[in-house]
Homo-oligomer: A and B are copies of this chain.
Amino acid sequence: MIQSLNEHNREDLQEALGKGGQKLTPQREVVFAVLLAQRDHPTVDEVFNRARESMPGLSLATVYNCLETFVGCGLVRQVNHERESTRYCPNLAPHAHFRDKETGQVHDIELPPEVMKSLRSILPPGFDSEVIEISFLGRTKANDPLHSN
């Protein structure tokens, strides 16, 4: 069982929430701690189960609410693959997602600025994009622990 934030992370959370006009609550703290503790792109259900270990009364609706709030404040990203359950990711650096066909695991893939640039360059004039989502589907041969997040 994990589930308490160090000062640094708590301050970050509080600040980001504040900017979005939201408050730091015990539930939000626990949910955020869950996301930071295990960066494996959990589903809402997975977050719920992990968070309940340290806060048994927590409700599923609250987990949905917390995650939505975090997305609104730019603290986490939603990750969708086809129509599977939405997953959540606290990695704010620009990155793509690689989904292992066999294990279902999702891995972050760093996105160098020049690749972002070449992607933006394919948009015809008049197309103005705020968000670019890139996802790979395939297999990972070596189960390289360095890239298992």
Where the two chains meet, the residues of A that have a C-beta atom closer than 8 Å to any C-beta of B are 78, 80, 82-83, 86, 96, 98, 101, 107, 109-112, 114-115, 118-119, 121-142, 144, 147
**A110 CA to B101 CA in the complex, in Å?**
26
Contacts of A82 in B (CB 8 A): 78, 80, 86
Count of identical protomers in the assembly: 2
Q: Is the CB of B127 within 8 A of A98?
A: yes
Partner pick for A137 among B122, B133, B137, CB 8 A cutoff: B133
**A139 CA to B125 CA in the complex, in Å?**
11
Chain B residue at minimum C-beta to C-beta distance from A131: B137
Q: Is the CB of B136 within 8 A of A123?
A: yes
Q: Is the CB of B83 within 8 A of A98?
A: no
**A48 CA to B131 CA in the complex, in Å?**
31
Partner pick for A140 among B127, B130, B132, B138, CB 8 A cutoff: B127
Chain B residue at minimum C-beta to C-beta distance from A112: B122
* Closest A-B pairs by Cβ, 5 of them: A129-B138, A126-B142, A129-B136, A131-B137, A126-B141
Chain B residue at minimum C-beta to C-beta distance from A126: B142
Contacts of A123 in B (CB 8 A): 98, 109, 136
Q: Is the CB of B115 within 8 A of A140?
A: no
A135 to chain B, nearest CB (A): 5
Q: Is the CB of A144 within 8 A of B122?
A: no
